[in-house]
Structures are given as C-alpha cells and as structure tokens.
Amino acid sequence: MNKRFFAALGTVILGAAVIAGIGTYVASAKNDSRVLAATAAGTMDTPQGNLPHYTLDISVYPDAMFGGHGTGGGHPDWVSYGPVTNFTVPAHSAITITVANYDGGETLNNDFFGKIRGTIGGTATLNGETISSVAPDHVGHTFTVHGIAGEQSELFFSVPMKAVAEEDMPEEGYTKTPNVTVFTVITGDEGEYVWNCEYPCGDGTIAKFGNAMSSMGYMSGHFNVVKA
Amino acid sequence: MTTMMERSASAPGHSAKRKPLIERLNIVTALALGTVSAVVVWQLALKFMPDNADTAFFFNREDKISLLSLIAWFIGFMVGIGALIGPFRWLLGKDLNHDENMFYAGKDQGIKRYFRYTTDHKVVGIQYLVVTIIIFFVGGVLAMLIRTNLGHAQGGWIQPQTYNAIVGWHGIIMIVATIIMITGPFGNFVMPIMIGARDMAFPRLNALSFWLIVAAIPPVFISFFTGGITTGWSAYNPLASQAGLGMNGYIAFICIFALSTMVAGANITTTVIRMRAKGMTWNRTPIFIYGVVASVALALPAFPVFFLSQIMSGLDRAFATSFYNTTGGGSGWLYENLFWIMGHPEVYVILIPAVAALMEMAPVFTRAPLFSFNIAVMGIGGICGLSILVWAHHMYISGWAPLLSAPFMITTELISIPTGMLFLVLIGTIWRGNLWMTMPLMSIFALLWNFMIGGITGIYLSDVPADAFLHGSMYVTAHFHYTLMGAGLTGALASLVFWFPKMTGRMFDKKLSWVAFWLVQIGFNVAFMGMFLVGLAGQPRRVESYAAMFSRGNLITTIGAYTIMAGMLVLLHGVIISWRSGIKAPMNPWQSKTLEWTVPNPVPLENFDVLPIVTGDPYHYGKAQS
C-alpha cells in the first residue's frame, strides 16, 4: 500500500516538476531580453515636489537594420523602436524620455492618440517647441504605456511622434533630421507595464496591425518600474 | 514455407540479408524522411523563391516557404511510414500478397508493430490510445501554464504574446484530443469486435487515419516556435491572415487532421453498415456503435468544410487571395461560417460517443437492461440532425445575420430535447438497478452532474439577449469545459477503465482509478465553478491579466486546476503500472454481454475463430432469457 501510494505521489511530483520546468523555460523566453535602464540625472522639480530625475534616450526607425536586430534579425524590414524595446525606470521618480523619430507616417486611426497624455503638464517638446498634440495626419508613431486596473499603481501616458515629412525621407539610410520629442512622466510604485505604438504601422498586413505591431521587440515592449 | 517476402529478398539486385522495403519502413524512417524533405524544400525555396512584389499585401514569401516545407514534411512522412506502398503496388497491378498483408497486419511482430503502418484494428486502437494520452499530457501542461499565469491578477509570469500562443495551442490540441479520445482508441479496438467483425472494412485506411494524425502533430508543435497560434483555437480571419508564421503550422495541422477524420469516418461507417455479425440487426446493435457511427457521420460533412476553410486561409496568406480579406472583396464572416459549420457539430462529435460509451456501461454496472433503447437511438439521431443547424449561435454578436438569430436560437434550444432523452436513458437504466460501484459507474453520475450544468448554462448562451452579455467571457470558457471535459472526458476516462482489460489484458488498478476519479471531478467542479463566477462578473476570456476584482475566482480556478492535474497524473500512473504489472484480466471481468467480451485475452489477430451469430440484444440483464 505504502509503495503504491508513494509511487503515485512520485508521478504527481514528477509531473508537477515537468510543468514547472517547462513553465520556467517559457516564462524566461523573451523575444528581446535586452533591457535599457534609465540614466540618473540628479533631481527635478515637479508638481509632486523635488524628485529623483532619470533619462531614457530612444529612437524609432523605419526598419530594424540597427542595434540588436541588425541584418541578422528575424524581420529586418519591420519598423522598430530601438536600441532596445524593454526599459526599466525607478519608482517615484521623474523620467525624461527623448525619442528621435526617423520614420514617416500617414494618418492615425484614432485621434485620441494625437494628443499628449499623462506627461507633466500634458505637454512635450518637439524639436525644442512645446506642444500638447500632433495633428492626426502628421503622426508617425506613438509611445503609449497602458496601465490596467489591478493591484499595481496606475500608469498611463501616450505621446505622439511627429512623422518625418515625405520629402525629407531619403531613398537610402535614415534622415539626418529626425523629429525629436522630449517629455517627462512621473512614476508611481513598482510595477510591470507594456508599452506599444498606437499608430498602425505594420505595413503589409490588414489594417496594419500585424507583424511589427503584434510582435514584442519592434513596436511594443516592456516598461518596468523598479525600486529606486 | 518460402514466403513472397523471402523470395523478393533474395531476388537479383538485393543483398541476401536485405529486408524488403515494406519491412524497413517505420516511424524512424518516417520522421527522418519527413524532416529531410522539409529541410530540403525549405532550403531550395529560400534560394529560389522570388522576393515579394512591392504590391504584395501579405508577407507571403515566408508563408509560401513555410507552407511548402510543411507539405514536404507531410509527404515525406507518409512515404517514410509506408502509406503509399499499397496504393503504388496497386497502381502497378501488383497488389500486396497474403504474406505481405499479414505483415501489414502486424502478425508475429511483437512491439514493433506499434511503430509501423500496421493495419490490425487492435494495434491502431492502442496507437490511438497512446497518442491521445500524449496529446492530453501536452495540452494539460499548457493548461497548467495558463492557470498558473492567471493565478495572479497582474499575470506577467508569461509574456502576453507567449500566453496567447499557449492558449491557442492548448485549445486546438485539446479539441483534437477530445475528438479522437473515444472513436480513436475504443472505436478502433473495440468496435469491430463488438459487431462481430474480423477487422475494419478498409484496414489500410484505418492505419492511414492514425498515421495522418501523427504526421499532423509536428507542424502544430513547430508552430509554437515560429510565432505561435496567437489567435485562439478558432483562428478567425483576418486575424489569422496577419498573424505570424505559426499560423501555417495550424493550417497544416488542421488540413492533415481533417483528412484523417474523413478517412476514419468513411471507414467506420462502412464497417458498421456492412460488417455486422449475422443476426445483429439494428435493434441488436450495441448503443456504443450508434454513438461512434453518429460521431463519425457528423464529422464526415463537417471536416471537409474545416479543411476547405484552412486551404482558403493558406491561400490568403501565401498568395494574397481575398477569401477573408474585406478590402479585397472577401469576408471575415465567410471564415466564421465555415469554421462554425464544422465547430458546432464537432461538439457533438466529441460528446455523443462519450455518452454512448457510458450508456453501454450503464447496463453492465446496474445489471439492468438499457432503459428504452429506442429513445437512446432517437436521442442520438435527434442531436445529429439538429447539430448541423445551430452553428450561427456562435455568431450572434458578429452582426452577420441578425434576422437569423431567432431561428438559430430555436434550433439550439431544441437540441435540449434529444439531449434530455439521453439523460432519461441513463437515469432510467440506473434507476433501481443493482449498482456495482466501479469508477465507470460513478462516471455516469459525474456525467449527469457535469453535463446538466454544461447544458443549462449553454441554454443561456443560446439565448440572444443573454449571449450579448455573456459572449466572449470566461462564462463561455467554463460552459464548454463543462460539456467537453465534464461530460466528454469523463466518458473517455470511464471507457479507459472499462475496456482496459480487453485492450491490455490487465485490470486497471481499482484504487488508483477511484483516487483519480475524485481528484479530477472535485478539481474540475472547483475550477470551472470559479470560472463561471468571474465570467458572470464580466471577465473576458483569452486575456493574460485581469482586474483585481476577479482575483478570488481565478485563484479558486487555479487551485481546482492543480487538483485536476494531480488526478490526471494519478490516472497516468495507473495506466502505466496497470499495463505493466496489473492483475491479469479474465476474458469477461465485468460479465458484460457484448461480443468483445467473448474473445480471449490477448485478442487473436482475426478476433474470432468462427464469426458469431447474434440471437438477442446485448442488454438482457435481469430479464428472462430472450
């Protein structure tokens, strides 16, 4: 009886171990495991008082022929953020994000994402000028972090990136004059968030919401708020 | 005696020790040839396939390459297993001789016959049993990953895209496993003996139907590593058209599986119609046979539609056709219709044989006649007839045909009547019977409970106004698990214990069967009651994380799921140790009256020395000698 009981128990434990092993492997498998951490930049006066200040410098390119994707990437012709698409920023801090957009664009599906939301003052600077929105037919991409209702702090901000004008897009390589957008957000408690672009830029798919838009590591990634 | 094979082995041009081709092919050669074919075609396509034209709507070069590689895999595998030897020889006018047919039947080959293109229905039944268990194991692991991730509101353990792929993969392989779980192992092993036949009508087609399923499995496994099935098991278009390359694995999997189902359906139907023993009139044919035939008869028209839907999906992906692409003149509704024209009969393809198997066991374990055989047959027939007229209840909210909502609501609700007939038969048989408390008998009670909940909750989903609220929620997920798992799988597990002695020659360990039964049934009801709660509260299905208000219900479901896991692993343990070293089974351990229990263990190659003549119905327990 005991032998039989322990044999059955052993099968259950072995099965659970198999599931745990596969689960651990699956959970650790990332499309792009590289992470860019925000750089410390002193402190900053914000509406919530003087907070630690950090910066993130990122870009968005019309293809994925740069950085870690490079020519050996799975989809070199897909539009992509870079140099990586996973970011960590400290909690309860002011984070200034600079995005250099090298890509063109057309018209947003949803005008909602043409307006800057969730940043300090609801504004950003575009090539040095303060703005609160970008005309929906001039948006190239957006950088949008969606918080969801749950136990972690709410975090939502969405900033449109102005498209590079058609005439400024070179036949080869990247434009020398990207549109640079700078904005600052304030983080809450620690939490794991997902960011994505809300401008449909998955060329070659229906409604342009496929490939780069539906694959982590191109136009979406992780935005994790960690302990300072 | 010098056999034809021996003669051909010593023919000019052959080495004396060289085995004839038919003896050299097995699963190893099949896997090898399939893999080599796929890799060669893949590399050739990479080299010679032209780039997409700038105007190409889809990223179709990669799709063409991956679909071609999967087709090459399929052809290579089927050649490697030996599926084409028979047809090829027939085309050459040199059909297989007696000795070769005996080799195909697995005569005197021991365990090797299970790894070859063996035509003996009993071998095919065992092959199906093992493959079904493996698929359930993989699907179960995926289910546990899903439930572990959903054990916490924020999810996050598994990446959202990977989570979507796991949900899609779990869904489709579990659907396939439940489709084959009765008709595969038991329909093949038991059914021919039960009707007094020596084998199936088309033994080679029988082997073909099994090996097609084996050929279908690698593409769906590979799909997980090439972008996954991120669309859910239904693979709605145009979502599927713009998903990653993993969808091509899904397309290949479904097409090959549909071929298998069509072949099996034609074979089983023909066998039952043409090969029943003398005296086995339709009134004397066991109810399990009706269940199996109804299942495959429903699948026969349904799966070609599924096959076609995936061919069109593949064409949309690889050749930029517009069957489902609205901007090109196609329609997503077309896919939805094709899918559910298969998808709802498919529910009954799964359920009917499970209920029929339990109806077969009910007289055995109550020692009472089957209560109203005719009502049972009418119930099965009624379900079959109505089940092809209900598909659009899955599409109320799609906006496809609002005027047809009411008719589809009526046909769906009408199906409760023949389903109720089957309940009546089971309850009537148990009523005042001399209950022999075994795991199969308890499974009848479990089915009545689970199927009652699954059926009643289904009525709300068939109702258009209620469905508007419940559609796409966890309530739907809980409902179909109550029917497919609570009823279908319960019937399959009871079948396993019931027919285990005949299939393996060993009794299933009684205590382990009880432990597994209670763990699975308690865990199941805990898990899916919790899911009903969060579904009614509004939690959508197929989401990786959810609002905190759903946390408690999800935690309950996850605890229930782990309990099911423990039960299923105990059952798996029971299968292994009982098969290996269980008590040797007598010829008829349950004192049943159907024909499969009249043959010895192990069952001889051709089942019967002399074909039986049937003189009465198989359920005359407790009656005067009929």
* Tens digits of residue pLDDT in A90-105: 999 999 999 999 998 8
Judge whether residue B54 has pLDDT over 80: no
Are A214 and B56 inside 8 Å of each other by CB? Answer: no
Query: What average pLDDT does this structure show over A177-191?
Result: 94
Q: A22 vs B241: CB contact, 8 Å cut-off?
A: no
Do A1 and A84 share a domain, yes or no? no
Q: Hey, what's the torsion of the CAs at B242, B244, B249, B253, to 10 degrees?
A: -40
pLDDT at A69: 55
pLDDT value of residue A71: 53
Q: Is residue B184 part of a domain?
A: yes
Q: From chain A, pick out residues whose CB is under 8 angstroms from the CB of B230.
A: 214
Q: Percentage of residues in chain B with pLDDT exceeding 70?
A: 95
In terms of domains, do A22 and A38 share one?
no
Model confidence at B625, in pLDDT bands (50, 70, 90)?
very low
Highest mean predicted confidence (pLDDT) among A82-86, A116-120, A217-221: A116-120
The average confidence (pLDDT) of chain A is 86
Distance (Å) from the alpha carbon of A31 to chain B's nearest alpha carbon: 9
* pLDDT tens, residue by residue, B450-492: 999 999 999 999 999 999 999 999 999 999 999 999 999 999 9
What φ, ψ does residue B366 adopt, rounded to 5°?
Answer: -115, -5
Q: Which amino acid is at B624?
A: A
List residues in chain A touching B: CB distance below 8 A: 4, 7-8, 11-12, 14-16, 18-19, 22-23, 26-27, 29-31, 148-152, 191-192, 194, 202, 204-207, 209-211, 214-216
Q: Indicate yes or no: CB of B158 within 8 angstroms of CB of A205.
A: no
Distance CA B274, CA B41 (A): 43
Count other Cβ atoms within 10 Å, centred on residue A86.
19
Q: What is the mean pLDDT of residues B354-361?
A: 96
Most confident range (mean pLDDT) of A28-37, A61-70, A190-199, B585-594 is B585-594
All residues of chain B having their beta carbon less than 8 Å from the beta carbon of residue A204 are 56-59
Interchain contact, B573 vs A151, CB within 8 Å: no
Q: Residues A95, A151: one domain? A: yes
Mean pLDDT of B289-311: 94
- Answer yes or no: do A112 and A181 share one domain: yes
Is residue A188 located within the same domain as residue A124? Answer: yes
Average pLDDT over residues A125-137: 94
Q: Is B622 inside any structural domain?
A: no
pLDDT of residue B3: 41
pLDDT of the residue at B158: 82
What are the tokens at B399? 């906006």
pLDDT at position A123: 96
* A151 and A122 together in one domain: yes
- Residues A26 and A99 reside in one and the same domain: no
Q: Both A125 and A210 in a single domain?
A: yes
Q: Which helix (H) or strand (E) holds B73?
A: helix B60-81
Cβ distance B572 to A15 less than 8 Å, yes or no, reads yes
Is the per-residue pLDDT at B11 higher than 50? no
pLDDT of residue A157: 95
Residue A133 sits in the same domain as residue A196: yes
| pLDDT at position B5 | 43
**Distance of residue A180 Cα from the nearest chain B Cα, in angstroms:** 30
Residue A78: closest CA among chain B residues belongs to which residue? B59
Domain count, chain B: 1
**Total count of domains within chain A:** 2
> Same domain, yes or no, for A3 and A69?
no
- For every residue of B110-153, which 3-state class applies, written as one string? HHHHHHCCCCCHHHHHHHHHHHHHHHHHHHHHHHHHHHHHCCCC
The predicted structure's pLDDT at residue B556: 95
Cross-chain residue pair A206–B238, CB shorter than 8 Å: yes
A49 and A115 assigned to the same domain: yes
CB B115 within 8 A of CB B252: no
- CB pair distance less than 8 Å for A11 and B573: yes
Calpha distance B151→B171 (Å, rounded): 19
- Minimum-distance CB partner of B512 among A8, A22, A152: A8
Q: Which whole-number Å values give the CA distances from B83 to A2, A120, B91, B208, B211, in the listed order? A: 48, 69, 14, 7, 8
Please, are residues A160 and A106 in contact by the beta-carbon 8 Å criterion? no
Instruction: Return the percentage of chain A with pLDDT > 90, whole number.
Output: 44
Q: Using a CB-CB distance cutoff of 8 angstroms, which residues of chain A are in contact with residue B572?
A: 11, 15
Residues of B with CB under 8 A from a CB of A: 56-59, 141, 144-145, 148, 153-154, 156-162, 166, 227, 230, 238, 241-244, 325-327, 509, 511-512, 515, 545-548, 565-566, 569-570, 572-574, 576-577
pLDDT of residue B266 exceeding 80, the answer is yes
Cross-chain CB nearest to A22 (options B141, B572, B574): B141
Q: Give residue B7's pLDDT.
A: 43
Interchain proximity B569–A11, CB inside 8 Å = yes
> Chain B closest CA to A88's CA: distance in Å?
15
Tell me: pLDDT of B39 over 70.
Answer: yes
The minimum CA-CA distance between B3 and chain A, rounded to whole Å, is 47
DSSP secondary structure, B458-490, as one string: HHHHHSHHHHHHHTTBHHHHHHHHHHIIIIIIH
Task: Give ipTM to 2 decimals.
Answer: 0.72
| Closest CA–CA distance from residue B583 to any residue of chain A (Å) | 14
Q: Which of B59, B156, B159 sits opposite A216 (nearest CB)?
A: B159
Give the pLDDT confidence score for residue B623 in this predicted structure: 53
When CB atoms are compared, the residue of B162, B547, B573 closest to A29 is B162
How far apart are alpha carbons A175 and A181 in whole angstroms?
16
A75 min Cα distance to partner chain B (Å): 11
- Contact state of A12 with B144 under an 8 Å Cβ cutoff: no
Residue ranges making up the domain that contains A140 = 32-226
Average pLDDT over residues A173-185: 92
Instruction: Pick the residue of A24, A26, A153, A225 with the most B CBs within 10 A to test the interface with B by mutation.
Output: A26
- C-alpha B407: how far from its chain's center? 30
Asked if A192 lies within 8 A of B546 by C-beta distance, the reply is: no
Distances (CA, A) of B343 to A188, B221, B268, B340, B388: 46, 22, 21, 4, 10
Residue B6: pLDDT band (50, 70, 90) is: very low
Nearest CA in chain B to A222: B159
The answer to whether the Cβ–Cβ distance between B570 and A11 falls below 8 Å is yes
Q: Is the dihedral of CA B272, B277, B280, B284 positive or negative?
A: negative
**Chain B neighbors of A152, CB-CB under 8 A:** 154
Instruction: State the residue for tokens 């408390």.
Output: B437
Q: Which residues of A touch B566 (CB under 8 A)?
A: 12
User: Which residues on A lie below 8 Å from B161 (Cβ)?
Assistant: 31, 214-216
Lowest mean pLDDT among B88-102, B115-129, B173-187, B279-293: B88-102
* pLDDT tens profile B596-613: 999 999 999 999 999 999
**Minimal C-alpha gap between B248 and chain A (Å):** 15
Would you say A131 and A116 are in contact if contact means Cβ atoms under 8 Å apart? Answer: yes
Verify that A79 and A144 share a domain, yes or no.
yes
User: Comparing A154-163, A173-182, B57-66, B378-387, which segment has the lowest mean pLDDT?
Assistant: B57-66
DSSP string, B398-452: GTS-GGGHHHHHHHHHHTHHHHHHHHHHHHHHHTT------HHHHHHHHHHHHHH
Query: CATH code at B273?
Result: 1.20.210.10
CA of B507 to nearest chain A CA: how many angstroms apart? 16
Asked if residue B4 is part of any domain, the answer here is no
Is B145 close to A22, i.e. CB distance below 8 A?
Answer: yes
Residue B1 gets which letter from DSSP?
A: -
In a domain, B50, yes or no: no
Print the domain residue range for B315: 118-598
Q: Do B243 and A210 touch (CB under 8 A)?
A: yes
The confidence band for A200, taking pLDDT boundaries of 50, 70 and 90, is confident
The answer to whether position B438 is within a domain reads: yes
The pLDDT-based confidence of B241 (bands split at 50, 70, 90) is confident
Better-predicted residue by pLDDT, B317 or B8 = B317
- Those residues whose C-beta lies under 8 Å from the C-beta of residue B306, and which sit 6 or more positions away, are B254, B258, B338, B339, B342, B343
Judge whether B52 lies within some domain: no
pLDDT tier, A1 (very low <50, low <70, confident <90, very high otherwise): low
Which pTM value belongs to this model? 0.85
Backbone CA torsion sign across B490, B209, B109, B1: positive
- Secondary element (H or E) of residue B382: helix B373-387
pLDDT tens digits along A4-36: 788 888 888 988 888 888 888 877 765 567 889
From the candidates A9, A12, A201, A224, which should be mutated to test the interface with B, based on the most B CB atoms within 10 A? Answer: A12
On whether residue B113 sits in a domain, the answer given is: no
**Is the confidence at residue B58, as pLDDT, over 60?**
no
Is there a contact between A205 and B548 if contact means CB atoms under 8 Å apart? Answer: no
**Closest residue to B158, CB basis, from A26, A148, A206:** A26
Chain A interface mutation, best of B242, B546, B554, highest count of A Cβ atoms under 10 Å? B242
* CA of A20 vs chain B CAs: smallest distance (Å): 8
Residue A209, Cβ density class (10 Å: 0-12 exposed, 13-18 middle, ≥19 buried):
middle
